[in-house]
Amino acid sequence: MAWDFSTEPEFQEKLDWVERFCKEEIEPLDLVFPGAVRSRHPKVKAIVDPLKQQVKDQGLWALFLDEDLGGPGLGQLKLALINEILGRYGSAPAIFGTAAPDTGNMEILAAYGTDEQKERWLYPLMRQEIFSAYSMTEPHGGSDPSLFKTVAVRDGEEWVINGEKWFTSAGRAADLLFVMCTNGIFIVPRETPGVEIMPYPSLHNHIRYTDVRVPLDHLLGPEDGAKVLAQRRLGGGRIHHAMRTIAQCKRAFDMMCERALSRESHGKVIAEHQMVQEAIANSYAEINMLRLLVLWTAWTIDNSSTQAARTQIAACKYTCAKVLRDVSYRALHIYGSLGTTNLTPLQAMYAGAPTMGIADGVDEVHKVTVARNVLKNYKPHEGLWPSEYLPAKRENARKKYADLLATEPDLAAYAEAAERRAMAH
């Protein structure tokens, strides 16, 4: 029977290296040179590029990709264990070549791109010579494709794109925009005439596409295949979000426990107050429940497919947002006024939790997905009473022992007395 919660010693060595590397190299980089990982400045790149090379030397670059595409082919379960570390440090995913939104875009390029498209865009993205963004949601329709209005119309040897997109994360810094239209996903270089990036929001950009012209070969996958490509892309992205969210929850939890043992209130260390103990106990249980859900989902993907794990992925998505919100909120309260400032990561974690509940589809949509898929495994009961209605079950059970009860008066009396006691409550 295969049932194991252990990690192979060889891979544990890799995990230990990742933890040391992130603590000793990436965290100082983030504190002194925030945003350095995407900088084009030669002197900044001279600091960042050697760190990426160390990752490559360890065989940990582009963790999410299979070996034939240039990744290590570790699978989702091992990726989850590594992401539990990377998610704690802002630029760690990018320095390991596994940062959104590039990861999802690379996945659909790898799955649906032509050889020419892969040479032109996939491999440069993998090498981080260029960066990309995913332009999907719209101001009026959110993430519901049935409400999208952005469309590409063929005009000779070009596509002409018109529409408006909202919350295109890192769009301003991207070289390529993967634009989801009503009739397909199109790869649009950011500098293409007609691409207008609005001033706000500054990170998750609002973009207008006005008579944007791209060649015919900038269509990714089949025409009218946008929904299929989007599901392929977002499924992986959602589980990766959940993996990294565990790291954020653990970080908040570590801060909570350290602070609880360091502060005093009403004559004793606050860790001795029952309300604080409740916050720690609840957080411990919730983080580990989320972690097991995510690891089980990653294992399922490795042993089947992203599509087969769709229900689990959806459950991970809304659960990770809830756990992050609750744990960071408790930690913030245990920190007191310090937790409300930008002098610790807690305020950013708590503020980021609602975004996690909206990005890649709102929690409510994922809950509907889970409920519908779960209910497919059930059917309504027959007749008036549910299948666990005890009087009916007891009657059927007595039929099993009918001959025995008929020949053994003592056992019949025992059974009748037991039934009277059961019905008396």
- Give pLDDT tens digits along the chain (425 positions): 678 889 999 999 999 999 999 999 999 999 999 999 989 999 999 999 999 999 999 999 998 888 877 678 899 999 999 999 999 999 999 999 999 899 999 989 988 999 999 999 999 999 999 999 999 999 988 888 889 999 999 999 999 999 999 999 999 999 999 999 999 999 999 999 999 999 999 989 999 999 999 999 999 999 999 898 988 787 678 899 999 999 999 999 999 999 999 999 999 999 999 999 999 999 999 999 999 999 999 999 999 988 899 999 999 999 999 999 999 999 999 999 999 999 999 999 999 999 889 888 889 999 999 999 999 999 999 999 999 999 999 999 999 999 999 999 999 999 999 888 988 86
Tokens coding 401: 């022992």
Query: How many other C-beta atoms are found inside a 10 Å radius of the C-beta of residue 281?
Result: 11
Domain boundary among 220, 235, 250: 220
Q: How far apart are CA 315 and CA 292, in angstroms?
A: 12
Give me the sheet containing 219-220, strands edge to edge: 132-135, 176-181, 184-189, 219-220
Phi, psi of 158 (to 5 degrees): -135, 160
DSSP letter string over 268-308?
EEGGGSHHHHHHHHHHHHHHHHHHHHHHHHHHHHHHS-TTT
Asked if residue 76 belongs to a domain, the reply is yes
> Which pLDDT value is given to residue 271?
98
For residues 233 and 355, membership in a common domain is answered with: yes
Helices (H), 340-389: 346-356, 363-375
Q: Can you tell me the distance from the alpha carbon of 130 to that of 176, in angstroms, rounded to the nearest whole number?
A: 8
Query: For residue 133, what are the β-bridge partners?
Result: 177
Q: Are residues 255 and 356 in the same domain?
A: yes
> Is 157 found in the same domain as 89?
no
- Judgement on whether residues 47 and 159 belong to the same structural domain of the protein: no
Hey, which residues does 134 pair with through a beta bridge?
A: 178
Q: How far apart are CA 89 and CA 414, in angstroms?
A: 66
| Ordered strands of the 195-197 beta sheet | 151-155, 158-169, 204-215, 195-197
What pTM was estimated for this model as a whole? 0.90
CB 171 within 8 A of CB 190: yes
Extract the tokens encoding 290. Answer: 């989320």
Q: Does a structural domain hold residue 380?
A: no
Shared domain for 205 and 251, answered yes or no, is no
In this structure, the answer to whether residues 231 and 370 fall within a common structural domain is: yes
Q: For the domain that residue 323 is a member of, what is the CATH number?
A: 1.20.140.10
- Same domain? For 335 and 408 the reply is no
- pLDDT of res. 425: 67
Tokens of 363: 């929690």
Last residue of a domain, one of 99, 123, 154: 99
Cβ-based neighbour number of residue 72 at 10 Å: 19
Distance between first and last Cα of the chain:
42
Are 102 and 133 a contacting pair, CB within 8 Å?
no
Task: Tell me how many domains the chain contains.
Answer: 4
CA distance 175 to 125: 10
Contact criterion met (CB below 8 Å) for 240 and 64: yes
Neighbours of 162 (CB within 10 A): 16
pLDDT at position 1, please? Answer: 67
On whether both 140 and 179 belong to a single domain, the answer is yes
pLDDT at 3: 80
Is 67 part of a structural domain of the chain? yes
Q: Give CA–CA dist 362/147, Å, rounded.
A: 15
Domain that holds residue 173: 131-220
pLDDT given for residue 145 in this prediction: 87
The CATH number of the domain holding residue 208 is 2.40.110.10
pLDDT of residue 237: 81
Residue 114 in any domain: the answer is no
